[in-house]
């Protein structure tokens, strides 16, 4: 079940016949609604087509399965999908029957989702990309998967990743090396590599990734996607294979801002689980929120991110450009990135935004002093995750050490397991770990708020506060296949502070083939709405995303 199963493909003629058969009367009644195309298709387009009867959910799901079969294991062989759900088509048929019976359209009705394969599903194993866990079958869905299903989403399958979410190469012992959808000689970034490549290639409508240090934003940048790392305590971590529980969060990866906003509407919400990570304060040892009411009081989640979007959000916005994070401009790749971002900033200005440079105080010291805590947390966190359910039925390993000793993972990660294994057990006396747990969030949050509020070191206002800070998501373009991208340290600011960061396409670099360049927006804690609004405003005026050319319509 882990390797993509062989599927009987519906021919394009059969799909066309299905659509045409119910389309004649609909066409005259509502001629503006076109047949749905999975290539670059949006949720709004899908729901319009379902409402008009120009397609069915079953036909749509089959189209995505056909695309995976045609392009992921053959053709460009992106290696982005580990498994396809045996239940997806059955669920689609059930949804068609429900709509035919007069039931209301759900917010994510028939929306196909590919999950990074470190997010639990009760109907598919969760391997984290490692052969050691290829048969590991959690007993229930992750909280965020439950939320998606409740709103009508169809979990299409599991996406490949950089094994155990360790890095940016995008390779695993279960799924192999993921390739970039825009150029198969290039890497996809990581660790949410498969999600990035699959959504870029329209193998599903939307995807979920996880981000400990940059694992949503890096592949989103390289694959021309909108990728949101939410505020750290906003989205439940229940049922997500951990890398570092004090930095991990899941988030959406989509082709449009609106689709990401709709997914965020489903992901947020109070979870009573003990490993939700939904604390009532940013301190690592703060108690969990005790109720849905307290969760709402702490986070201030809006009724709907999607309904709050504004196409004119850039007009009057104040955007702070962190030039210190743009790179030195010495390499051709960095020059290309800077050129695309400067063009993007000019478009923001033309759309009515006030774009000014801003300095994050002590930035060099922050990026050189503090580090990710994954080295200190992975061993204990993985054991806690694996021991949370009995292995009587699936025989899964129940500890970090058992996984490490199995050697059932890529050879390149043997040294990583050895290194992480040196930090098993009580780390309360580890001064470096405590520095990053206690001091780091205070310092980084303070520096970012000083920049966002546009204050001098003395706390005196220097002008209107900024709505968001902007900088390149990464400093280079997609790397050679099997390599990690030149990411720089920009992706650290969000996990080090717990503030949200959103990557979106800034434009395309002048390469052959053209490669995407991402721009990152960082905002105040729990202010995802502003980031989504600014991104939506830019998307509307710039139309920056271009589809890859190697995975056209079947």
Question: Percentage helix, strand, coil, to 5, in the chain?
Answer: 35, 15, 50
For the four alpha carbons of 78, 84, 90 and 95, in that order, the dihedral sign comes to negative
Is 26 one of the annotated active-site residues of the chain? no
Nearest Cα to 478, choosing from 511, 522, 521?
511
Is 215 one of the annotated active-site residues of the chain? yes
Is 191 one of the annotated active-site residues of the chain? yes
Q: Are 130 and 174 in contact (CB under 8 A)?
A: yes
Which of the following is catalytic: 191, 236, 372, 374? 191
Question: 528-542 and 332-350 helices cross at what angle (nearest 10)?
Answer: 90
Dist CA 509 CA 517 (whole Å): 6
Dist CA 458 CA 89 (whole Å): 61
Dist CA 336 CA 308 (whole Å): 34
Question: 43-52 and 257-267 helices cross at what angle (nearest 10)?
Answer: 90
> Residue 66, exposed/middle/buried by CB under 10 A (0-12, 13-18, 19+)?
buried
Distances 15 to 33, 53, 474 between C-alpha atoms, Å: 17, 13, 41
DSSP state of 306: T
Q: Are 518 and 505 in contact (CB under 8 A)?
A: yes
For the four alpha carbons of 401, 404, 405 and 409, in that order, the dihedral sign comes to positive
> Residue 543, exposed/middle/buried by CB under 10 A (0-12, 13-18, 19+)?
exposed
Phi and psi at residue 228, to the nearest 5° = -115, 120
Dist CA 50 CA 48 (whole Å): 6
Q: How, if at all, do strands 318-321 and 249-254 pair?
A: unpaired
Q: Are 266 and 141 in contact (CB under 8 A)?
A: no
Q: Are 36 and 15 in contact (CB under 8 A)?
A: no
Which of the following is catalytic: 172, 173, 215, 276? 215
Contacts of 336 (CB under 8 A, 6+ apart): 477, 509, 510, 511, 517
Dist CA 531 CA 229 (whole Å): 11
Dist CA 475 CA 493 (whole Å): 15
Which of the following is catalytic: 56, 80, 83, 116? 116
Task: Report how far Cα 549 is from the mean position of its chain's Cα atoms.
Answer: 22
Q: Show which residues are catalytic.
A: 116, 191, 215
């Amino acid at each position: 079940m882990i390797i993509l199963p062989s599927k009987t493909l519906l021919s394009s003629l059969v799909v066309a016949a299905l659509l045409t058969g119910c389309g004649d009367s609909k066409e005259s009644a509502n001629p503006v609604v076109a047949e749905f195309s999975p290539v670059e298709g949006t949720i709004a387009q899908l729901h319009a087509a379902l409402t008009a009867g120009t397609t069915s959910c079953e036909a749509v799901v089959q189209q995505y399965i056909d695309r995976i079969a045609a392009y992921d294991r053959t053709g460009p062989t992106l290696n982005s999908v580990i498994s396809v759900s045996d239940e997806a088509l059955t669920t689609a048929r059930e949804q068609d029957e429900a709509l035919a019976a007069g039931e209301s359209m759900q917010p994510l009705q028939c929306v196909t989702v590919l999950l990074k394969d470190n997010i639990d599903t009760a109907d598919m194993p969760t391997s984290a990309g490692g052969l050691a866990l290829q048969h590991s079958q959690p007993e229930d869905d992750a909280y965020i998967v439950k939320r998606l299903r409740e709103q009508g989403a169809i979990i299409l399958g599991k996406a490949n990743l950089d094994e155990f979410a360790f890095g940016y190469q995008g390779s695993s012992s279960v799924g192999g090396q993921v390739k970039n959808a825009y150029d198969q000689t290039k890497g996809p970034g990581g660790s949410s590599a498969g999600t990035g490549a699959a959504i870029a290639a329209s193998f599903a409508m939307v995807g979920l990734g996880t981000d400990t240090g940059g694992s949503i934003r890096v592949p989103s940048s390289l694959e021309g996607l909108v990728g949101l790392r939410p505020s750290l305590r906003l989205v439940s971590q229940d049922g997500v294979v951990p890398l570092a529980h004090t930095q991990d969060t899941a988030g959406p990866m989509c082709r449009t801002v609106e689709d990401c906003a709709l997914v965020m509407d489903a992901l947020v919400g109070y979870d009573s689980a003990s490993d939700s990570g939904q604390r009532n304060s940013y301190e690592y040892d703060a108690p969990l929120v005790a109720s849905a009411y307290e969760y709402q009081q702490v986070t201030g989640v809006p009724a709907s991110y999607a309904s709050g979007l504004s196409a004119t959000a850039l007009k009057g916005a104040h955007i702070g450009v962190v030039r210190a994070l743009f790179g030195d401009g010495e390499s051709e790749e960095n020059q290309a990135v800077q050129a695309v971002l400067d063009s993007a900033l000019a478009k923001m200005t033309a759309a009515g935004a006030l774009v000014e440079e801003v300095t994050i105080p002590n930035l060099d010291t922050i990026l050189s002093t503090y580090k990710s805590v994954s080295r200190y947390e992975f061993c204990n966190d993985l054991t806690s995750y694996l021991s949370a359910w009995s292995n009587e039925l699936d025989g899964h390993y129940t500890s970090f050490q058992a996984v490490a000793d199995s050697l059932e993972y890529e050879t390149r990660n043997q040294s990583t397991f050895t290194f992480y294994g040196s930090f098993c057990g009580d780390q309360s006396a580890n001064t470096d770990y405590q520095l990053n747990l206690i001091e780091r969030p205070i310092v980084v949050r303070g520096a970012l708020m000083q920049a966002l509020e546009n204050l001098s070191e003395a706390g005196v206002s220097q002008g209107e506060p900024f709505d968001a800070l902007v900088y390149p998501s990464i400093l280079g373009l997609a790397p050679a296949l099997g390599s990690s991208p030149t990411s720089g340290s920009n992706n650290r600011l969000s996990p080090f502070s717990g503030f949200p960061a959103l990557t979106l396409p800034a434009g395309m670099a002048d390469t052959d083939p053209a490669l995407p360049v991402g721009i990152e927006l960082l905002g105040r804690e729990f202010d995802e709405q502003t980031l989504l609004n600014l991104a939506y405003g830019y998307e509307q005026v710039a139309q920056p995303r271009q589809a890859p050319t190697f995975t056209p319509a079947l």
